[in-house]
């Protein structure tokens, strides 16, 4: 029969139990009204595509009129007939795989796992993206949403904000390729002004190195202590050095082979005499191939850790202790500051009691000392706690440049694939040029029989 509003209103459920009960329309093939035991009515469309019979709900009767439902049914059938489409599959896909959480999962499984920086991508996704947009539909994310996230992160971490936006942009490029969004869907992370970035220009000076070296030698974690010395002696990247293996050392050629490098190429690090001596002094753990062994996964049992060789992963805590110790040593060279530190230490010691946590230390933090010094009008000597682990690698490059070595050689030592990366050390080489010209000027004046003159600033 041809469906009418009167017929739909008068119809009652006539199924057995919860069996499907549908009033079919004679005007449009496959179009009908499904009646539920509760009395609820919904417009449905039955069609066949790719050899499969499908039944999709168009909408609720009462929300949609009969004419509106008929129009929509005709449109969906037209897609089936002319395009071979499956409207129900498209709707299910719309519901199932279109959230930012789904895209993040796909990105981590299909893309990030093959990247050197995959762990950093995962950290940024879990820290910045998922808490904000987990349930949001991918298509609903706007440029304004991304810009607000960029601004929010940038209030405290501008470089991090730029990296997160770059990550979102990459994810949306892949979303188009993977079919999460239409091919012509705009990338919401495009055309957002990034924060200006200034290349970090920090390395250890000859005056700072002795204090840092002493602090490294006093570090209780022997593996971390060896790692820090190896960073200073080789200039290797953090992750590459931590994953270095004993069987990759050629003792005859004094080389360490790194297979898993940032630029994807095998790299050989020449090992100096001090480096070889340090390596020979390190103990080897039976069954563990790594030069810098770790304890294994936190979640593993003791037996599992023993069976799963691992390398050192977290060196940040030992590094923080070393920087703090080096900074305190520098500050204590100033008598008034040393007295201030002693007073703060004594005060903290009085607060300590027998129930204090095992990790409690009476030594004040650097921030406490800074605040107390500011209150007393004391000027603190230069600190070392702003040095980062990567700055040890930068120290190797800058010291090589100051010794007159070419940028090409420095690039080979640090395994740079881009000469622009090495170019930051160019200005350090100016000291060698200046020294050479000073010596040349003195020689010219001496041969000419004239007294060498110095610039007095006038």
pLDDT band for position 319 (cuts 50, 70, 90): very high
Residue 143 has pLDDT above 90, yes or no: yes
Mean pLDDT score across all residues of the chain: 86
Q: What is the DSSP letter of 4?
A: -
Q: What is the pLDDT of residues 162-201, one digit of tens each?
A: 999 999 999 999 999 988 888 899 999 999 999 988 777 7
Q: Count other Cβ atoms within 10 Å, centred on residue 311.
A: 20
49 bridge partner residues: 52
pLDDT band at 95 (very low <50, low <70, confident <90, very high): low
Out of 116-120, 184-188, 193-197, 393-397, the most confident range is 184-188
269 and 249 in contact (C-beta within 8 Å)?
A: no
| Number of neighbours of residue 398 by Cβ within 10 angstroms | 22
Instruction: Using pLDDT thresholds of 50, 70 and 90, give the confidence band for residue 426.
Output: confident
Question: Residues 417-424: what's their mean pLDDT?
Answer: 77
Q: Is the confidence at residue 315, as pLDDT, over 50?
A: yes
Task: Look at residues 249, 308, 253 and name the one whose alpha carbon lies nearest to residue 282.
Answer: 249
pLDDT at position 430 is 63
User: Which of residues 28 and 262 earns the better pLDDT score?
Assistant: 28
The answer to which of 114-128, 172-186, 395-409 has the lowest mean pLDDT is: 395-409
pLDDT at residue 76 in the model = 92
Average pLDDT in the 293-319 region? Answer: 72
pLDDT of 457? 47
**Structure confidence at residue 356 (pLDDT):** 53
Under 8 Å between Cβ of 339 and 331: no
Please give the pLDDT value at position 301.
52
Given a cut of 50, whether residue 402 has pLDDT beyond it is: yes
Domain range 5-93, CATH architecture = 2-Layer Sandwich (3.30)
394: number of Cβ within 10 Å? 20
pLDDT at 206: 87
Give residue 253's pLDDT.
93
Classify residue 213 as exposed, middle or buried by CB count within 10 Å of its CB (0-12, 13-18, 19+). Answer: middle
What pLDDT was estimated at residue 359? 47
Has residue 361 got a pLDDT over 70?
Answer: no
Cβ neighbourhood burial of 223 (10 Å; 0-12, 13-18, 19+): buried
Contacts of 2 (CB under 8 A, 6+ apart): 25, 26, 27
Beta bridge partners of 57: 44
How far apart (Å, rounded) are the C-alpha atoms in residues 250 and 339? 51
Q: Report how far residue 458's alpha carbon sits from residue 455's, in angstroms, rounded to the nearest whole number.
A: 7
Average pLDDT over residues 374-390: 90
Mean of the pLDDT values across residues 316-334? 93
Instruction: Locate the domains of the chain by residue range.
Output: 5-93, 100-178, 389-447
Residue the block writes with tokens 């897609």:
79
Structure confidence at residue 397 as a pLDDT band (50, 70, 90)? confident
pLDDT at 59: 92
Token pair 């009085």 in the structure block, residue? 350
Q: What per-residue confidence (pLDDT) applies to 21?
A: 92
100-178 has which CATH code? 1.10.150
pLDDT at res. 432:
65
pLDDT of residue 8: 92
CA 350/CA 366 separation, integer angstroms: 19
pLDDT category at 367 given cuts 50, 70, 90 is: very high
Residue 413 in this model has a pLDDT that exceeds 70: yes
Q: Could you tell me the two tokens for 304?
A: 């599992």
Q: Report, as an integer, the average pLDDT of 336-354.
A: 81
The model's pLDDT over 22-40, given as tens digits with 9 standing for 90+, comes to 999 999 999 999 999 888 9
Beta strand pairing call for 22-24 and 255-258: unpaired
């Amino acid at each position: 029969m041809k469906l009418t509003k009167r017929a739909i209103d008068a119809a009652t459920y006539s199924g057995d139990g919860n069996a499907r009960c549908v009033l079919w329309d004679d005007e449009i093939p496959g179009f009908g009204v499904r009646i539920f035991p509760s009395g609820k009515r919904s417009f449905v469309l039955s069609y066949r595509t790719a050899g499969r019979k499908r039944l999709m709900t168009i909408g609720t009767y009462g929300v949609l009129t009969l004419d509106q439902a008929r129009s929509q049914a005709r449109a969906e059938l037209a897609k089936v007939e002319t395009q071979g489409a499956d409207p129900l599959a498209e709707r299910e896909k719309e519901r199932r795989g279109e959230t930012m959480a789904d895209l993040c999962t796909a990105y981590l499984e299909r893309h990030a796992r093959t990247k050197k920086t995959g762990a950093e991508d995962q950290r940024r996704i879990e820290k910045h993206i998922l808490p904000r947009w987990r349930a949001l539909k991918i298509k609903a994310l706007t440029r304004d949403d991304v810009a607000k996230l960029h601004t929010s992160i940038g209030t405290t971490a501008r470089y991090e904000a730029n990296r997160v936006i770059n990550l979102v942009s990459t994810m949306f490029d892949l979303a188009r390729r993977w079919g999460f969004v239409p091919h012509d869907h705009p990338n919401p992370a495009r055309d957002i002004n990034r924060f200006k970035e200034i290349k970090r220009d920090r390395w250890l000076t000859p005056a700072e190195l002795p204090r840092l070296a002493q602090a490294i030698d006093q570090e209780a974690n022997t593996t971390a202590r060896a790692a820090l010395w190896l960073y200073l002696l080789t200039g290797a990247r953090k992750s590459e050095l931590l994953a270095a293996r004993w069987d990759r050392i050629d003792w005859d050629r004094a080389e360490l082979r790194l297979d898993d490098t940032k630029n994807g190429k095998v790299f050989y690090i020449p090992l100096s005499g001090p480096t070889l001596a340090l390596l020979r002094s390190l103990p080897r753990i039976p069954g563990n191939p790594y030069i810098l062994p770790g304890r294994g996964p936190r979640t593993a049992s003791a037996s599992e850790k023993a069976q799963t060789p691992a390398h050192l992963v977290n060196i940040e805590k030992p590094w923080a202790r070393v920087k703090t110790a080096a900074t305190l040593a520098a500050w204590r060279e100033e008598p008034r500051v040393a007295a201030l530190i002693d007073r703060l230490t004594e005060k903290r010691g009085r607060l300590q009691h027998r129930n204090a946590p095992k990790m409690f230390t009476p030594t004040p933090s650097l921030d406490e000392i800074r605040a107390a010094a500011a209150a007393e009008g004391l000027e603190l000597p230069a600190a070392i706690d702003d040095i980062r682990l990567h700055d040890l690698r930068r120290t190797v490059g800058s010291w090589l440049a100051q010794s007159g070595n070419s940028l090409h050689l420095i690039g080979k030592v640090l395994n740079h694939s881009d000469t622009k990366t090495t170019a930051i050390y160019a200005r350090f080489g100016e000291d060698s040029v200046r020294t050479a010209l000073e010596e040349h000027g003195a020689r010219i004046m001496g041969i000419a029989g004239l007294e060498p003159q110095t610039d007095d600033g006038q």
